[in-house]
Amino acid sequence: MIRLYYAPGACSLAPHIALEEAGAAFEAVRLDFRQGEQRGEAYREINPKARVPALATDRGVLTECLAILAWIARTWPEARLAPLEDAWAMAQVHSFNSFLASSVHVAWAHISRPGRYADGEAAAEAMRAKAPEALGGFFDLIEGRLADGRPYVHGETYTISDPYLMVMTGWIRSRDMVPRARMERVLAHYELVRARPAVVRALEREAAPA
């Protein structure tokens, strides 16, 4: 059976939701970041990057959110989580997800994991002070994307970009990092996605006592 390695509230929530949306049979394996379980020897054998998510499949272990999301969409095509038959529309999905992974997530990590980028509290403080500016700019772009009244990132249809965005909006929202008036549509998108039964199921599993 497929195993998803996750930590509650981490970016692994996006593939967790996608597996639920797909109706996949999978085992969710929780890692305790407070105990540093992601850096332990046992997990490093699964994912030497010492990060979540990792998806163990019968063909091996897949890492990186956007690759896992795309794999889920291809593996359960009946769930219609991506426009698989339309090369241009599919490229738009990859483009948006790549932006989340390489720009938004990395800017957020300057706040949540400053030690990845520099040593010392002064450097960490400087990064925490600067990152909201970059994140504000990125969320302005996303807000603009939703401006034509489209409910989902790519229009009328829910795709793998939507839970991925919802997870990152949740991070920004939890710290009031961008003024709410500047991200009204993004926040409406968050609520829309948050209410989906698959999302509720994934969130309940992540919140359940270990």
Ligand X SMILES: N[C@@H](CCC(=O)N[C@@H](CS)C(=O)NCC(=O)O)C(=O)O
Q: For binding to ligand X (CB under 6 A), which residues are involved?
A: 10-11, 38, 50-53, 64-65, 101, 113
Report CA dihedral (184, 194, 66, 109) to the nearest 10 degrees: 60
| CB 125, min distance to ligand X, A | 19
Residue 11 or 142 with smaller CB distance to ligand X: 11
| CB 46, min distance to ligand X, A | 12
Residue 116 or 180 with smaller CB distance to ligand X: 116
Residue 56 or 101 with smaller CB distance to ligand X: 101
What are residue 61's DSSP bridge partners? Answer: 56
Residue 52 or 81 with smaller CB distance to ligand X: 52
Residue 10 or 111 with smaller CB distance to ligand X: 10
d(CA 126, CA 123): 5
| CB 12, min distance to ligand X, A | 7
159-169 burial by CB neighbour count: b if 16+ within 10 A, else e?
A: bbbbbbbbbbb
Residue whose beta carbon is closest to ligand X: 51
Torsion angles phi and psi, residue 61, rounded to 5? -100, 130
Choose among 150, 159, 132, 134: nearest CA to 186. Answer: 150
| CB 62, min distance to ligand X, A | 10
CB 112 within 8 A of CB 94: no
| CB 167, min distance to ligand X, A | 8
Residue 65 or 165 with smaller CB distance to ligand X: 65
d(CA 35, CA 52): 14
